[in-house]
Amino acid sequence: MKKSLFALAALGLLGGAAHAQTSVTLYGVIDGSVEYVNRVASSAATPTQGGSRFGMPSVGGLSASRWGLRGVEDLGAGNSALFVLESGFKWDTGVLQSAPLFNRQSFVGLQNNTFGKVTFGRQYTSFFDGMANFAPLRFAATYEPGIWWMGLNYREDNMVKYTGQFGPLQAVAHFSFGTGTAVQNANIVLANGGAGEVPGHFTDNTAYGGSLMYLNGNGLGFSVGADIWRPAAVTGQPGKMSKYGAAALYNTGPFKFTAGYRYNKGEFSNGATLLRDDYWWAGVNYQATPALGLSLAYYYADVKGARTAATSPQTNPANMQQVSFIADYNFSKRTDVYLSLGYAHNGGLSFDSVATAFAFSYPTMTGQKNMVGATVGIRQVF
| pLDDT 10s digits, 46-102 | 999 999 999 999 999 999 999 999 999 999 999 999 999 999 999 999 988 776 789
Residue 7 lies in a domain: no
**pLDDT band (50, 70, 90) for residue 16:** very low
Say yes or no to pLDDT of 287 above 80: yes
SS (H, E, C) the chain: CHHHHHHHHHHHHHHHHHHCCEEEEEEEEEEEEEEEEEEEEEECCEEEEEEEEEECCCCCCCCCCEEEEEEEEEEECCEEEEEEEEEEECCCCCCECCCCCCCCEEEEEEEECCCEEEEEEEEECHHHHHHHHHCCCCCCCCCCCHHHHHCCCCEEEEEEEEEEEECCEEEEEEEECCCCCCEEECCEECHHHHCCCECCECCCCCEEEEEEEEECCCCEEEEEEEEEECCEEECCEECEEEEEEEEEEEEECCEEEEEEEEEEEEECCCCCEEEEEEEEEEEEEEECCCCEEEEEEEEEEEEEEECCCCCCCCECCCCEEEEEEEEEEECCCCEEEEEEEEEEECCCHHHCCHHHCCCCCCCECCCCCEEEEEEEEEEEEC
Residue 47 lies in a domain: yes
SS (H, E, C) 276-298: EEEEEEEEEEEECCCCEEEEEEE
**pLDDT band (50, 70, 90) for residue 2:** very low
Mean pLDDT of 330-356: 96
Indicate the length of the chain as a whole number.
382
**pLDDT band (50, 70, 90) for residue 4:** very low
The per-residue pLDDT for range 199-237, each reduced to its tens digit, is 899 999 999 999 999 998 788 999 999 999 999 989 999
129 with 223: CB under 8 angstroms? Answer: no
pLDDT of residue 218: 81
pLDDT of residue 181: 65
Residue 40 lies in a domain: yes
Say yes or no to pLDDT of 184 above 80: no
Say yes or no to pLDDT of 152 above 70: yes
Which residues pair with residue 338 across a beta bridge? 328, 377
pLDDT of residue 65: 96
**pLDDT band (50, 70, 90) for residue 187:** low
How many of the other CB atoms lie within 10 Å of CB of 219? 10
Cα 263 to its chain centre, rounded Å, is 17
Residues 354 and 148: their CA atoms lie apart, in Å, by 10
Q: Which residue has the higher pLDDT, 21 or 364?
A: 364
Mean pLDDT of 157-171: 97
Flag the least confident range among 176-180, 299-303, 321-325. Answer: 176-180
Q: Mean pLDDT of all residues in the chain?
A: 91
pLDDT of residue 290: 97
Q: Percentage of residues in the chain with pLDDT exceeding 90?
A: 80
Say yes or no to pLDDT of 374 above 50: yes
Residue 43 lies in a domain: yes
Q: What is the pTM of this model?
A: 0.90
Q: Are strands 240-252 and 237-238 parallel, antiparallel or unpaired?
A: unpaired
Residue 315 lies in a domain: yes
Domain range for 322 is 24-381
Say if residue 29 is exposed, middle or buried (CB neighbours under 10 Å; 0-12, 13-18, 19+): buried
Q: Please, which residues have CB within 8 angstroms of residue 120's CB and are 6 or more apart in sequence?
A: 107, 108, 109, 159, 160, 161
Sign of the CA dihedral 149, 278, 357, 106?
A: negative
pLDDT of residue 11: 33
Mean pLDDT of 281-296: 98
Say yes or no to pLDDT of 186 above 60: no
Residue 184 lies in a domain: yes
135 with 146: CB under 8 angstroms? Answer: yes
CATH of the domain at 291: 2.40.160.10
The per-residue pLDDT for range 19-29, each reduced to its tens digit, is 458 899 999 99
Mean pLDDT of 33-50: 95
pLDDT of residue 195: 81
How many of the other CB atoms lie within 10 Å of CB of 183? 18
Quote the number of domains for the chain. 1
Cα 327 to its chain centre, rounded Å, is 22
Residue 368 lies in a domain: yes
Residue 18 lies in a domain: no
**pLDDT band (50, 70, 90) for residue 12:** very low
Mean pLDDT of 183-209: 78
Mean pLDDT of 320-345: 98
**pLDDT band (50, 70, 90) for residue 1:** very low
